[in-house]
Amino acid sequence: LGQKVHIYDEVDSTQTIAHKLVASGAPEGTIVLAERQTAGRGRMGRSWHSPAGKGIWLSLILTPRIPMYFMPQLTLLSAVALCRAIQKVCHVEIGIKWPNDLLIHGKKVSGILLESSGEDERLKYVIAGIGISVNLLEEDYPEELRSIATSLAIESGGKVSREGLVQAFLLEFEDMYALYLEKGFAPIRLLWEALSVTLKRPIRTSTPSGFIDGIADSLDNTGALTVITPNGERIKIYSGDIELK
């Protein structure tokens, strides 16, 4: 991975650039990095705060030969790789909130957005978008994010090398991806579970028909979260967001 790296000063979104690169024949492992995004994208149509020079805004092109419905597994794999890289570089206590938010002291420090393109149930490619708030300081966040977002610098008490962290992430991702392609999702799932701050905790999720409260119990082998409701019913959540209670 990372044999080909495209670095930009300013882009709308590294995801958009990566999609275009795929269309012009860029191979698996190609990486797009930008100092600043003017229209950084988050999950569920949200925007992603991406100020200049303070974070890692990265998109990685992947072309695994797996069916479309295994995509969530790659999301969880990305979270595991990122979590391990951050642990190695920053020595902070960090955990994964399902499916792939990285939290330190309950605040979000990094997010992952996977965008794919497929045909006839088969995946053509995936763009793994990784956003890490590395050296943002409190004043770099808009007011509404201050209580829910944090950065590695704030949490580890000093500036963190973005180069070092990108390198550590790519190495971890390479290991996890090789393990996944060889052995499937089972070993990744174990690693994810060990890093999770979600399992066995009370959570709430909203559905079109209202809230569901319950205890997050386990992951299934597609990456969906099984929740046990107060009346003992087991339900599965395939996508969306949960709130830790």
Question: Binding-site residues, please?
Answer: 37, 41-43, 108
Nearer to ligand BTN, 14 or 73 (CB): 14
How far apart are the C-alpha atoms of 214 and 27, rounded to whole Å?
43
Q: Which of residues 14-73 bind ligand BTN (CB under 6 A)?
A: 14-15, 37, 40-43, 46, 48, 50, 57-59
Which residue has the closest beta carbon to ligand BTN? 111
- Taking residues 75 to 104 in sequence order and writing x for each that binds ligand BTN by CB under 6 A, - otherwise, the string is --------------------------x---
Binding-site entries for biotin:
37, 41-43, 108
Which amino acid, residue 64? Answer: P
Minimum Å gap between C-beta 28 and ligand BTN is: 17
- What does the alpha-carbon distance between residue 38 and residue 224 come to, in Å, rounded to a whole number? 32
Residue 150 found at the interface with ligand BTN (CB under 6 A): no
Report yes or no: 156 and 90 within 8 Å, Cβ to Cβ.
Answer: yes
Cβ-based nearer residue to ligand BTN, 50 or 135: 50
Find the shortest distance in angstroms from Cβ 3 to ligand BTN.
19
Token output for 203: 């959570």
Task: Output the CA torsion 188→165→197→223 (10° steps).
Answer: -30
Question: What is the residue type of 31?
Answer: I
Beta strands in 45-201 (DSSP E): 55-62, 95-97, 101-104, 107-119, 122-133
Instruction: Using CB under 6 A, pick the residue from 21, 61, 112, 195 that binds ligand BTN.
Output: 112
- Please state, in angstroms and rounded to a whole number, the distance separating the CA atoms of residues 239 and 15: 20
Amino acid at 92: V
To ligand BTN, the closest distance from the beta carbon of 167 in angstroms equals 17
Q: Which is nearer to ligand BTN, 148 or 190 (CB)?
A: 148
- Cα–Cα distance, 59 to 17 (Å, whole number): 9
Binding site for ligand BTN (CB under 6 A): 13-15, 37, 40-43, 46, 48, 50, 57-59, 101, 111-113, 129-131
